[in-house]
Every structure is written in C-alpha cells, then in structure tokens.
A and B are shown apart, each in its own frame.
Chain A
Amino acid sequence: EDKVVQSPLSLVVHEGDTVTLNCSYEVTNFRSLLWYKQEKKAPTFLFMLTSSGIEKKSGRLSSILDKKELFSILNITATQTGDSAVYLCAVVMYGQNFVFGPGTRLSVLP
C-alpha cells in the first residue's frame, strides 16, 4: 500500500527558530514529491522535487529529496508567526495518483 509519513505531526517553536520537517514515503512508480502549506482551507504549493540532492529554495524555505532513502525534508529558517500552518507532503505517482501525508502542524510563537 502506498503511504506517506510525516514527522513530527506537531511542532511548537519560537520566532527566529529553524525547523526541519520530515517526509518519508513508500510508493510504487514515484514521479515527484510536493510540499504544500495549508493555513485555512486550500493548500498552497511550495515546492516540487523530482531529483535527488537538488535543493529548492524560496526565501527562508528550502527542501531537498533523497530518492535512495525515500525521504524529503523541508527547512524553514528564522521562523515567523506567519509560518504557522499545516505543512503537507504529497507524492505523485505515474498515472497521476497523489498520496498525501498526514501533515505537520507548525505553531510559531512570538
């Protein structure tokens, strides 16, 4: 059965801290891995990763994929209260099947 696991499920930090969110997966026909930020209802796209070892960066956020060990990490440096959200990892398989992880709920305290 295809599955995506995220850890931790919940995290509370203070502004300025750096956090690392983890996503591991076991799927057939891996195509890409996606990270989303969900604040209210609709997830917003952060990164798409398809190749190992290539870091994607956007401001204070960065992510990398390891296809050999079947995991990805999402780093957020100098966290701000606006980073408080649920971060979802999803794996896309050939055939366009998406499998979402349970999400990591990040709370950034002032």
Chain B
Amino acid sequence: SAVISQKPSRDICQRGTSLTIQCQVDSQVTMMFWYRQQPGQSLTLIATANQGSEATYESGFVIDKFPISRPNLTFSTLTVSNMSPEDSSIYLCSYGWDDGTEAFFGQGTRLTVV
C-alpha cells in the first residue's frame, strides 16, 4: 500500500478564516477522497477529488465552502472556507483503487474553530 501523509495534524482557527489541508501519497493513486468526522459521529464523505477536473461533491457539501484541488495523482488539498464553530471536526483524506478494494486514510486533521 502507498503511504499517505496529511497535514496539519491539528489547528485552531478564528471564525471567518480559511484553512487548507494537504494530503500527499507516495505513489500515484486513482481515487482520493475527503471525509469529515464531527464529534461523536462516523465519517461522512465530503467529495471525491478527481485529477484534472472538478471534485465530485456529496449532497450537503458545496465547492464554495470546501474547494478541493487535485493537481496530480499524488496530491490533493481541501480548504475549509469562511469557517464557523460548526466546522470543528476531524478531516480525513484517503485513497482507493479502481477495483473497490480497501481505502487507506491519512492521519487526520483536528480542526477547532473559535
């Protein structure tokens, strides 16, 4: 499996600001995903990061709030824009393979908005 690195691991941000989370994989992967895990909740898929095209967002998530970049097959970023305390969550990136096999996760970013 490829090694996936995510940063920052945690941050405390002021409301109204934006934070960009980076996810780096040490080999080329087809599918990259971004998840949110609110306190006490399970993982919710935000979007699929597509290389060379716009991300595919799940219901309830929009590009203006969560812009995503995927400039190549090893890297992606998620920005949480105009943050409010409700955005306080763990954000996770993951990668998967075309054949629907296991997905591996980055270390996660614990975001606190004050």
Contacts and interface: CB of A to CB of B under 8 A. Distances in A.
B12 interface: no
Contact of B100 (A31, A43, A100, A103): A31
Contacts of A32: 100-101
Given A96-B31, A96-B48, A98-B33, A42 B105 contact: yes
B7 interface: no
Interface residues of A, number: 23
Interface in A18-59: 31-32, 34, 36, 40-45, 48
B19 interface: no
B43 interface: yes
Contact of B92 (A41, A48, A96, A97): A41
Nearest to B6: A42
Contacts of A45: 102-104
Contacts of B45: 97-99
A48 B108 contact: no
Contacts of A34: 102-103
Interface of B: 6, 9, 31, 33, 41-45, 48, 90, 92, 96, 98, 100-110
Given A92-B100, A96-B98, 9 more contacts: A40-B108, A41-B9, A42-B107, A90-B43, A90-B103, A92-B96, A98-B33, A98-B103, A100-B43
